[in-house]
Amino acid sequence: MTHPLHLASLSLREIRLPLREPFRISSGVTTERRILLLTLTDVDGVSVWSECVAGEWPNYSPETIDTAWFALTQWLAPRLLGREVASAADVRRTLDDNIRGHPMAKAALEMGMWALEATRLGRPLAIHIGGTRTQVEAGISMGIQSSPAVLAEKMLAARDAGYARLKCKIAPGYDVPYVAAVREAVGPDVRMSVDANAAYSLSDHAVFTALDALHLLYIEQPLAQDDLVQHAALQVQCKTALCLDESILDESRAADMHQLGSGRVINIKPGRVGGFAASKAIHDLCMARGTPVWCGGMLESGIGRAYNVALASLPGFTLPGDLSPSARYWVEDIVTPEWTMHPNGLVDVPRTQPGLGVAPRRDRIDALTVRETTVRAG
């Protein structure tokens, strides 16, 4: 079924892409993305693009674009260049062997190898990784705003645009009145969630009790990024499901979450867990236990989004993902066609052409590039 993959060169480039509006979370604000794009080329000259989702600053996870650049050029690319791997499913093991951490750097390479394999086999990426859906539901993730009224107005517009779920970023001082204003504006039936990005502690009972009254789908990552034990204590107190993002780094953490009762939903970001093999393992484990999962986002360009949409088409992704269309983030994306959302909140999964299903716009990418390097076998 699969054929060996043999990488000949890996190109890295950094592009700068300004966001249409600043994105503020509890731990910092992003106004312009510094995006690391990879081009993987095999010995037959077949070439695919992938994206590393590491941020500009280590405020979500320890990785940044600069640590990923270093890890990829110094440690990870040399693991794959000039040697055959039996299949994309084996890449994870090759990259994890005695190299700890750096999941976003690993994921960019590992997911690129899945796309290379799909392309070589003439298959759409989504189908190649086991996706079954033809469309996926998109939710919006809205940054912290200057007032409850401003947030409510934006979320009303998002509801009217068709988003299947509205997620508000929260932080101490920017929580209950903000989320209550949104609930009031959009009505009782709209699916809503909040994401604290680890900004709270167990002593914040009052906040969680008030959120419990707002009928949220889940509260995402309320407590520390490396915690499972305190989340379990909080889940006992909260009626609302907890959803873990930062705390789930692989399938063993997902199993621990189930064992400890630290949450009832998982946000799978393939970058955070090291790629598609790990994402699929978490997905399979959650499906077996009846735990819903959804695909998170990291303000990706249209290249990274292709990978997220493919992942979200797996059967266990039963909740809307952070899969907003291109125009939510960028004046102009770097792929054609751009990603769009139907008025009912659905995004089409590319299922006809081999590979990603969108074409990177080479001229535009060249014009946005601020640095570039190529690593070759040798």
Which residues on adjacent β-strands are paired with residue 162?
Answer: none
Task: Say if CB 167 and CB 322 are below 8 A apart.
Answer: yes
Q: Residue 29 or residue 213: which is nearer to ligand OSB going by CB? A: 29
Residue nearest to ligand OSB (CB): 297
Under the rule (CB under 6 A), what is the footprint of ligand OSB? Answer: 25, 60, 141, 195, 197, 245, 296-299, 322, 324
Q: Looking at the DSSP assignment, which residues form a beta bridge with residue 5?
A: 85
Q: Which residues bind Mg ion (CB under 5 A)?
A: 195, 220, 245
Give, for 266, the enclosing helix (H) or strand (E): strand 265-268
Q: Which of 106, 169, 239, 280 is catalytic?
A: 169
For the question of residue 239 being annotated catalytic, the response is no
Q: Which is nearer to ligand OSB, 297 or 355 (CB)?
A: 297
Minimum Å distance from CB 143 to ligand OSB? 8
The CB-of-144 to ligand OSB minimum distance in angstroms stands at: 11
CB of 270 to ligand OSB, least distance (A): 12
Instruction: Rank residues 19 and 81 by Cβ distance to ligand OSB and give the closer one.
Output: 19
Give least dist CB 317 to Mg ion, A: 16
Cis omega (within 30 of 0) for bond into 270:
no
Question: Shortest gap between Cβ of 138 and Mg ion (angstroms)?
Answer: 15
Answer whether 210's CB lies under 8 Å from 239's CB.
no
119 or 145: CB nearest Mg ion = 145
Catalytic residue among 106, 154, 269, 280: 269
Which letter, b or e, does each residue of 207-233 get, where b requires 16 or more Cβ atoms within 10 Å of its Cβ?
A: bbeebeebebbbbbbbbbbebbeebbe
106 is catalytic: no
Alpha carbons within 13 A on the beta-carbon side of 178: 25
The counts of H helices and E strands in the chain are 15, 16
| Eight-class DSSP state of 313 | T
Count of residues for the chain? 378
CB atoms within 10 A of CB 160: 10
Tell me which of ligand OSB, Mg ion, none is bound by residue 117, counting a contact when its beta carbon lies within the kind-specific cut-off of 5 to 8 angstroms: none
14 is in the binding site of which of Mg ion, ligand OSB, none (Cβ under 5 to 8 A by kind)? none
**For ligand OSB, the closer CB: 40 or 140:** 140
Q: What amino acid positions are annotated as catalytic residues?
A: 169, 269
